[in-house]
Amino acid sequence: MKTDVYFARKDDFGLIAYENGIKQNIFMQIAAVDYAPQVNEIIICDAKYDIKELIEKYYEFEIREKKKLDIGWKYKHIWKPLMNIHIERELDITQSELFHAKRDLGILIQKLQEILLFIEPSEDGLKAYSHKIRELLFLACSDLESTFKKYKFGKNERMNNYIEILKFVDLTKYKISLVGYAKPYKCSPFEKWNEKEPAKSLDWYDAYNKIKHNREDNFHFATLENCINAIAANLIMFAVRFSPTTLYNENDVCSNLARSALEYKIENSKDFYIPVFEGERKHFDTYMSCRFKNGKVLPDIYKTYHVLPYEERPLK
């Protein structure tokens, strides 16, 4: 559905507001808006109240933008921020596929931790290279290629096909950093990815190709830094396919490894899904009111609500 969508901001919180298809105003307060946006609070009231007035005089947020947008849709098998409810259903996650993906990612992280027992990820240590690092770099890059192949872009053969995924999700804002260091190494594996040079614009993937085709002359590219970036790229693509919630909020081997080794953020991204909420009145519901920090009261807000299933769009 198309509707006017308001984007507002106050300190570290964002606010997205719109009128749904049944004449209700939806207000979604967004926490961690600059690095891990997620819906923190939802208030739904009837459309008799003015959205702009509620944002400015009740929430006391600054409206940054107003757009006519098509909301309530998603791409197949691609998670984006604000998809917080019914994730397994929306991403069509099967337990078999999830278990295999977690096993593969867990192996990569575990092998990285073994290497970090011997090499400090300092400025000098990141330049270190070895046969063990080369082995892990190759494993990480081949696993990533297998992940991209599942989306079936173009001829589905190489990076100039796989880069089509950028048309559907902005991977350039995804950031990964090492956990447990005073000055942790931070990387954004897909930040420089571009269509002009789809393989070479990713330094770590270019290193993998150079070593694969001429190990004798290019062995020095098997660095710890390139290896960390390749594993970080795998973690990002896991989050895109299965959501970071499935990775960081569970209690299994892979999730515990991820939490202990790699921190995940999406910095300053405007690439997200906007879910469509609908309030509902049940015969046993009592009317609720919301008191804002400035003392203003919004009466008759909906106590019960649900989110509509996303409309799925193909990757083409």
Asked whether 258 and 266 are in contact (CB, 8 A), the reply is no
pLDDT above 90 (res 63): yes
Q: Which amino acid is at 238?
A: F
Asked whether 262 and 62 are in contact (CB, 8 A), the reply is no
Give mean pLDDT, residues 9-25.
Answer: 96
Run of H or E residues at 17: strand 13-19
The model's pTM is 0.94
Q: How many CA atoms lie within 13 A of 59 on its CB side?
A: 28
Structure confidence at residue 244 (pLDDT): 95
Structure confidence at residue 286 (pLDDT): 65
pLDDT above 80 (res 287): no
Which among 115, 62, 305 has a CA at the least distance from the CA of 226? 115
**Structure token digits, residue 151:** 């989306």
Structure confidence at residue 301 (pLDDT): 92
**Structure token digits, residue 24:** 């209700």
Structure confidence at residue 97 (pLDDT): 96
